[in-house]
Chains A and B, each alone.
Chain A
Amino acid sequence: QKEVEQNSGPLSVPEGAIASLNCTYSDRGSQSFFWYRQYSGKSPELIMSIYSNGDKEDGRFTAQLNKASQYVSLLIRDSQPSDSATYLCAVIMGNQFYFGTGTSLTVIP
């Protein structure tokens, strides 16, 4: 089992819809979780961090964490074509960041 797993996609949603991205992780003791956005040919950009169970909202983005299920998700409301990118889930296990392989999202105008 990989430390952090994501569906690679591709995920396609129409403009204005909600995009839902999911991530599971292997270490039940993990406390810190992050979502990064990576445009093609660019470096990852931090968009959300979450440390407590429940939801955390920032603009059109909502991160959801369920430590009992070892599951973290990212919802993007009112998706825009500019949201088309690869979304990377990252989890700190021990003293190290582990990244998933990313989910490719395409928002169709």
Chain B
Amino acid sequence: SQTIHQWPATLVQPVGSPLSLECTVEGTSNPNLYWYRQAAGRGLQLLFYSVGIGQISSEVPQNLSASRPQDRQFILSSKKLLLSDSGFYLCAWSVSGYYTEAFFGQGTRLTVV
């Protein structure tokens, strides 16, 4: 069966520090991968999506970047965190090629102080 792993679960980082959140998927090949963010009291915002290794599309301009170095690995990064980067970050995957549902990880709650 397919599983998605996302870590860490919680993270407190100072302003200006770097960030690296990792997400891996098991049990499937060539998945579509997504990063979402949910700020406190707000809805889910799609940040990045990827349909293959090295193929990243950004939905909104921001202080973050994403990379997909391997088929089932998706990384969210920042060189210097801002207070506004605080939020609940969710990784998700779906089967590529046709309509299907997305499966979400348990999320990382990031607090920038």
Are A and B bound to each other?
no
- Chain B residues within CB distance 8 Å of chain A: none
- Chain A residues within CB distance 8 Å of chain B: none
